[in-house]
């Protein structure tokens, strides 16, 4: 699929829409979203695709491959994508999901996940789940074995144990080291030595600090702009998550999102991933969608639900993603979340799959990708985007 760049996007829209986009980049925030009817439909590889299909975030190529195999063998699409998601949840080298996920500010890994069956229109979700590496499978059982939609914290853990899941330490050495590095460099007025104060790292020990000489604090929002503004850029900061949507050849849709959330988050923080309608949503009558990236921004525009609603109004999957991201950019008004040109200083990627198998994805910032298995081929493609550096 060829990505849409900002110039192409603007040229494809009417003057009114272009003006609205300009408003977003200035942070004006009051402009309406792109008018679906006013947009010519840009050609997209995914527009013409038909069922079956599995799409996932860029880290989900193994997930799409596994899920498509299972769907081809007749497995329920939700079981298929939860099974495919396990591959990434079990992989300690993916530090944004499951085992090995980066922990919260106290060094504790807390996982979130949600699932939805488009045929039953039933969902399940878990939040702040500790010690269980497959939260998506737990969310699936919340959906199938209880009358509830969402379980969090100790209640979610108790439920998982009752369902036979085993507790294990999810904090890998690599994630613990990353947390220690972040914690150590967080501030100068705490009892942890910053890297430039540690003689064992070959640094000259700094003398007593003059008032106001503290190094700048790291900001997750700066990091999300595409480069951590932290003293040592080797400290990883992830905004990864895995979202997967699938549709079978008979039009049965399913969605699943799983994450360790924002690294260094406050304990108990829930992002969009476990929120039905934000991190994922699906409806057999229309389509399925999901999100990765700054969850707070996704929640505040009801991201996945909005993408599905835009598809219902006739937008293609890619256009629907762009329209929601456009709204997100328009509604981002706080200075701390904007760059010097008034554009969001964080990233979000949306993924969409229509009931007939058409698919697409878009990011706020160029550089996003998504995996897609179209029934024949499994590929990672570049997402469309609104803004480019
Ligand atoms: N959306 C997830 C969250 O906010 C994390 C991410 O994708 O960066 O928890």
Query: Please, what is the average pLDDT of the chain?
Result: 83
Candidates 241, 259, 318, 332; catalytic one? 241
- What pLDDT shows up at residue 189? 84
The residue count for the chain: 389
130 Cβ inside 6 Å of ligand 1: no
- What pLDDT shows up at residue 109? 97
Residue 111 CA to residue 181 CA, distance in Å, equals 21
Which of 272, 299, 349 has most ligand 1 atoms within 8 Å of CB, for mutation? 272
Q: How far is the CA of 270 from the centre of ligand 1 (A)?
A: 9
Q: Which domain holds residue 92?
A: 37-173+219-387
Q: How confident is the model at residue 45 (pLDDT cuts 50, 70, 90)?
A: confident
Beta-carbon count within 10 A of 376 CB: 7
- What pLDDT shows up at residue 223? 31
Q: Is residue 180 in some structural domain?
A: no
- Bridging pattern class, strands 359-365 and 384-387: parallel
Q: How far is the CA of 112 from the centre of ligand 1 (A)?
A: 9
- What pLDDT shows up at residue 378? 97
- What lies within 8 Å, CB to CB, of 259 at 6+ separation is 96, 97, 101, 111, 112, 113, 240, 241, 242, 271, 273, 279, 292
Q: Print burial letters for 195-206: b (CB count within 10 Å at least 16), e (below 16).
A: bebeeeeeeeee
Q: How confident is the model at residue 239 (pLDDT cuts 50, 70, 90)?
A: low
Q: Are residues 237 and 270 in contact, defined by beta-carbon separation less than 8 angstroms? A: no
Which of 292, 296, 301, 325 has most ligand 1 atoms within 8 Å of CB, for mutation? 292
111 Cβ inside 6 Å of ligand 1: no
Q: Is residue 19 in some structural domain?
A: no
Q: Are residues 30 and 57 in contact, defined by beta-carbon separation less than 8 angstroms? A: no
Q: Are residues 27 and 332 in contact, defined by beta-carbon separation less than 8 angstroms? A: yes
Residue 279 half-sphere exposure toward CB, CA atoms < 13 A = 34
How are strands ordered across the β-sheet holding 369-373? Answer: 150-152, 122-129, 111-117, 253-259, 242-247, 53-57, 369-373, 378-382
Residue 232 CA to residue 196 CA, distance in Å, equals 10
The count of structural domains within the chain is 1
Residue 107 has pLDDT above 50, yes or no: yes
Q: Is residue 274 in some structural domain?
A: yes
Q: Is residue 110 in some structural domain?
A: yes
Beta-carbon count within 10 A of 162 CB: 10
Integer Rg of the chain from CA: 21
Distance of CA 309 to the CA centre of its chain: 19
Residue 14 annotated among the catalytic residues of the structure = no
Calculate helix-pair angle for 15-25, 317-331, nearest 10 degrees: 50
Q: How far is the CA of 37 from the centre of ligand 1 (A)?
A: 31
The CATH number linked to 376 is 3.60.20.30
**95 to 56, 63, 91, 170: CA distances (angstroms):** 17, 16, 8, 11
Tens-digit pLDDT profile for residues 258-283: 999 999 999 999 999 999 999 999 99
- What pLDDT shows up at residue 122? 98
Q: Is residue 59 in some structural domain?
A: yes
Residue 98 has pLDDT above 90, yes or no: yes
295 Cβ inside 6 Å of ligand 1: yes
Listed in sequence order, the DSSP H helices in 150-191 are 153-162, 173-184
271 Cβ inside 6 Å of ligand 1: yes
Give, using CA atoms, the residue closest to atom 9 of ligand 1. Answer: 261
Q: How far is the CA of 383 from the centre of ligand 1 (A)?
A: 17
Residue 18 has pLDDT above 90, yes or no: no
248 Cβ inside 6 Å of ligand 1: no
Q: Is residue 294 in some structural domain?
A: yes
Tens-digit pLDDT profile for residues 157-180: 999 999 999 999 999 999 999 999
Residue 237 CA to residue 103 CA, distance in Å, equals 11
Q: Are residues 23 and 326 in contact, defined by beta-carbon separation less than 8 angstroms? A: no
**230 to 107, 215, 329: CA distances (angstroms):** 18, 9, 25
Tens-digit pLDDT profile for residues 199-226: 888 754 443 333 333 333 333 333 333 3
Q: Is residue 188 in some structural domain?
A: no
Q: Is residue 202 in some structural domain?
A: no
Q: Are residues 63 and 84 in contact, defined by beta-carbon separation less than 8 angstroms? A: yes
């Amino acid at each position: 699929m060829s990505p849409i760049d900002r110039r192409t996007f603007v040229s494809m829209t009417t003057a009114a829409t272009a003006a609205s986009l300009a408003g977003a980049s200035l942070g004006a925030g009051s402009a309406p979203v792109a008018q679906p009817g006013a947009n010519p439909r840009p050609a997209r590889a995914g527009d013409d695709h038909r069922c079956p299909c599995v799409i996932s975030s860029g880290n989900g190529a193994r997930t799409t491959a596994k899920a498509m195999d299972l769907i081809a063998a007749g497995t329920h699409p939700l079981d298929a994508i939860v099974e495919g998601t396990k591959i990434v949840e079990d992989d300690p080298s993916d530090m944004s999901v499951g085992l090995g996920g980066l922990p919260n500010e106290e060094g504790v890994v807390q996982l979130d996940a949600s699932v939805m069956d488009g045929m039953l229109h039933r969902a399940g979700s878990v939040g702040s789940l500790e010690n269980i590496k497959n939260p998506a499978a737990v969310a699936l059982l919340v959906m199938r074995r209880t009358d509830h939609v969402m379980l969090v914290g100790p209640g979610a853990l108790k439920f998982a144990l009752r369902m036979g899941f085993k507790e294990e330490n999810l904090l890998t050495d690599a994630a613990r080291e990353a947390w220690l590095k972040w914690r150590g460099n967080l501030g100068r007025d705490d009892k942890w030595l910053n890297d430039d104060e540690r003689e064992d790292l070959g640094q000259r020990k700094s003398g007593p600090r003059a008032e106001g000489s503290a190094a700048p604090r790291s900001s997750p929002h700066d990091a999300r702009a595409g480069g951590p503004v932290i003293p040592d850029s080797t400290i990883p900061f992830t905004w990864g998550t895995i979202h997967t949507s699938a549709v079978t050849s008979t039009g049965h849709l399913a969605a699943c999102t799983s994450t360790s959330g924002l690294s260094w988050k406050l304990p108990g923080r829930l992002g969009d991933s476990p929120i039905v309608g934000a991190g994922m949503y699906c409806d057999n009558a229309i389509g399925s969608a999901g999100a990765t990236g700054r969850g707070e921004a996704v929640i505040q525009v009801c991201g996945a639900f909005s993408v599905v609603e835009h598809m219902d109004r006739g937008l293609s999957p890619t256009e629907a993603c762009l329209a929601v991201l456009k709204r997100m950019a328009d509604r981002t008004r706080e200075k701390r979340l904007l760059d010097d040109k008034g554009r969001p200083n964080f990233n979000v990627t949306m993924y969409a799959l229509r009931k007939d198998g058409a698919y697409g994805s878009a990011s706020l910032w160029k550089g996003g990708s998504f995996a897609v298995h179209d029934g024949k081929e499994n590929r990672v493609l570049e997402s469309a985007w609104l803004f480019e550096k």
